[in-house]
Amino acid sequence: MTEQHQDAATAAEQNTTHFGFKTVAAQEKVSLVANVFHSVAAKYDVMNDLMSLGIHRLWKRFTIDCSGVRPGHKVLDLAGGTGDLTALFSRRVGPTGQVILADINESMLNVGKDKLRDLGLVNNISYVQANAEALPFADNSFDIITIAFGLRNVTNKDAALRSMFRVLKPGGRLLVLEFSKPTEAWLSKVYDLYSFKLLPAMGQLVANDRESYQYLAESIRMHPDQDTLKQMMEDAGFSQTSYHNLTGGIVALHRGYKF
């Protein structure tokens, strides 16, 4: 277990956790994160395109390509927010498959539902408001589970990973797409400048919400690095875990299987 993971475990034992750079009670984080995403939901897609210059769409398509999804599969898009991955999966699983868009935040879920219906994607998609730490699904339910840019906002990540493992079918795979640690020192410096200076300013300008985007920048820094998250997945029961760095490690795609 890495030092970072040990620190997280100690905090969990003391019933505290991180909200950005702040230490808060675990239960308080749930409501604080909820407030952030209630605030940003309406501008979430616009801000994603601006913040990443549209590159987030390439990261998500890469995730789909690595998922092994086939017609007839049952997919859980966890913390699926405004439904980008759900839309892509819906077309891949076809009329015999099913995609469940699940998110703990009602505002994000409603934005996703409206967007997907506007796209005409209605027949093989269901919507569930759910906490990743205690998923309301039967054991061995899904062929594929994805969580994109959501795990870092979960209070107890270990519990969430165990919950995902439980509801995944034997032979199924989990894909975690998340901001991570840049692999080059120069890129880290540039990324820090962007995250802590430009990102909050952009949030203020476009969404009139500097504080929420300050939290999002801080939450990225507090998220486990690539190797730590890989070990956490293994501790939760996943096998053949691996990760692929994207855009110099700014983002990483982790994969693991249930056997």
Tell me the C-alpha distance between 149 and 33, whole Å: 13
Mean pLDDT of 225-236: 99
Collect all residues with Cβ–Cβ distance below 8 Å to 219 and sequence separation of at least 6.
18, 19, 20, 152, 153
Measure CA 230 to chain center.
Answer: 15
Q: Do you know the residue count of the chain?
A: 259
Task: Check residue 59 and give its pLDDT.
Answer: 98
Mean pLDDT of 169-178: 99
Task: Check residue 160 and give its pLDDT.
Answer: 98
- pLDDT higher than 80, residue 234: yes
Confidence of residue 15 (pLDDT cuts 50, 70, 90): confident
Burial of 224 (0-12, 13-18, 19+ CB in 10 A): buried
Mean pLDDT of 232-256: 98
Tell me the C-alpha distance between 97 and 117, whole Å: 17
Collect all residues with Cβ–Cβ distance below 8 Å to 53 and sequence separation of at least 6.
none
Tell me the C-alpha distance between 250 and 24, whole Å: 26
Structure tokens at 190: 């540039």
Using one digit for the tens of pLDDT, what is the confidence trace for 200-219? 998 898 888 899 889 888 99
**Of 102, 66, 98, nearest in space to 83 by CA:** 102
The percentage of residues in the chain with a pLDDT greater than 90, rounded to a whole number, is: 73
Task: Check residue 35 and give its pLDDT.
Answer: 84
Which CATH number fits the domain 3-185+211-257, given the four candidates 2.70.70.10, 3.30.1360.200, 3.30.479.30, 3.40.50.150? 3.40.50.150
- pLDDT higher than 90, residue 148: yes
Task: Check residue 216 and give its pLDDT.
Answer: 87
Structure tokens at 132: 């990743």
Q: Between these two residues, 55 and 14, which has the higher pLDDT value?
A: 55
Task: Check residue 111 and give its pLDDT.
Answer: 95
Collect all residues with Cβ–Cβ distance below 8 Å to 229 and sequence separation of at least 6.
151, 176, 178, 180, 223, 243, 252, 254
Residue 157 in contact with residue 131, Cβ under 8 Å?
A: no
